[in-house]
Amino acid sequence: MAVEAGADAVGFVFYEKSPRKIGVEAAREIVKKLPESVEKVGVFVNEVGETLCEVADRAGLTSIQMHGDNEDPRVADLVAAKRPQLKVLAAISMSRKNPDSWAMMWHPEVVHCFLVDSGDSSKQGGTGTTFDWRASLLMLENIKKLGRVVAAGGLTSENVAEAIGILKPWGVDVASGVEARPGKKDPGKVRAFVRAVRAAEGLHGSGG
């Protein structure tokens, strides 16, 4: 449904505590049916490199999103060495102190893009809340010097155009903003979100 709506990527959450959690085999069955052009992103929290590689192999993932507050950038280096074809997305919580300094701890040649989110140590994303976009612009510009930026955190079809206009990201990521309830996507909201992104993309030349 997300692909038919025009999404460029689909995420699979492998975090035990998430209401969006999916099993490896269930993810594999979905991945089999997706077009090759669509990114298949596994979302992990504070996971070790061996598990990331194993799950990616079994599920057929093309990307992994490292989304924990205590992620070790060296794990990304390990994944890149063992599975060079896997794209690594490093999630950066904009609610932490000096998020741009944290982004600098990652090797830019290993990170495909930085996902800037509003998550905190108690919730690793999918919070449904935004971070202060305008107050974060200086830190965001520093992160953009390191690589691509994907904006996340509390985005909906109503506010994503504003977010794209202010942040000018390479792409956008959504979870709770297109759900009927936690873990259950709403087809109408998904389609409305993608439409809003494409319209903003035409205006600002960014988004994805």
Residues contacting residue 196 through CB under 8 Å, at least 6 positions apart: 157, 158, 160, 161
Q: Name the packing angle between helices 73-82 and 49-59 (round to 10°).
A: 50
pTM: 0.90
DSSP, res 203: H
80: Cβ–Cβ under 8 A, 6 or more apart, which residues? 86, 88, 110
Q: Which fold has domain 2-204?
A: TIM Barrel (3.20.20)
Kindly tell me if the per-residue pLDDT of 203 is higher than 70: no
- 87-126 pLDDT, tens digit per residue, is 999 999 998 889 999 999 999 999 999 999 986 544 545 5
Q: Residue 206: which pLDDT band, with cuts at 50, 70 and 90?
A: very low
Domain boundaries, the chain: 2-204
Residues 119 and 95 sit within 8 Å (Cβ to Cβ) = yes
Nearest Cα to Cα of residue 121 among 185, 180, 182, 68 = 68
Distances (CA, A) of 131 to 2, 54, 125, 182: 25, 33, 11, 20
pLDDT score of 204: 59
pLDDT at 120: 56
Whether the pLDDT of residue 205 is over 70: the answer is no
Q: What is the pLDDT of residue 117?
A: 93
The H-assigned helical ranges of 60-159 are 73-82, 99-103, 137-144
pLDDT in tens, 1-54: 999 999 999 999 999 999 899 999 999 999 999 999 999 999 999 999 999 999
pLDDT, average across residues 178-205? 89
